[in-house]
Amino acid sequence: MNNPPSDSEIIEALRGNGLKATSQRIAIRRYVMDSREHPTAQRVYEGVKKVHLTVSLATVYKTLSVLEKLNLVQELAFAKGETRFDSFMEPHINLVCRRCGSVADVDDIVAREMVVSVTREAGFSPTGQRIDIYGICARCSARRTRSISTLQ
């Protein structure tokens, strides 16, 4: 998986975009970049607020917007209006559970090579990618199996 930028790189990027490099914004960066759960802005807000009580949802949105402009996170819009953020910027597959809404990254060399091959062949310079596979995750499948066996 990709290596997240250092705090000093983020501080420089925030300042370069006209934003103060506050401890709250650094905490937002850490939360999103260290998370594999593809959090929503609300989830980032709730997680960061545990440490930075005065952080605002507006600060979270502004910081996420800057991280996206810098190609450090990708905004993932889903059905039902939910937007989540993915910090894994290399070509990969997202497994999306239709039952619980979890999103899991699959770092697959074949998918990565396919994206590189297709874009190279088309003379296309990608700035992002998204391959989603929808279904039911293993945890939800196991939960359903247990529920069915309990009814029998």
pLDDT digits (tens, 9 = 90+) for 10-21: 888 888 888 888
pTM, rounded to two decimals: 0.79
Give the residue extent of every domain in the chain: 1-87, 90-152
Sign, CA torsion 90/1/92/119: positive
Whether the predicted pLDDT of 152 surpasses 80: no
CATH of domain 90-152: 3.30.1490.190
Q: Domain 1-87: which topology?
A: Arc Repressor Mutant, subunit A (1.10.10)
Q: What is the pLDDT of residue 47?
A: 96
Quote the tokens at residue 124: 């296309």
pLDDT digits (tens, 9 = 90+) for 60-117: 999 999 888 888 889 999 877 889 999 888 889 999 999 998 999 999 999 999 999 9
Inter-residue contact 68 to 56 (CB < 8 Å): no
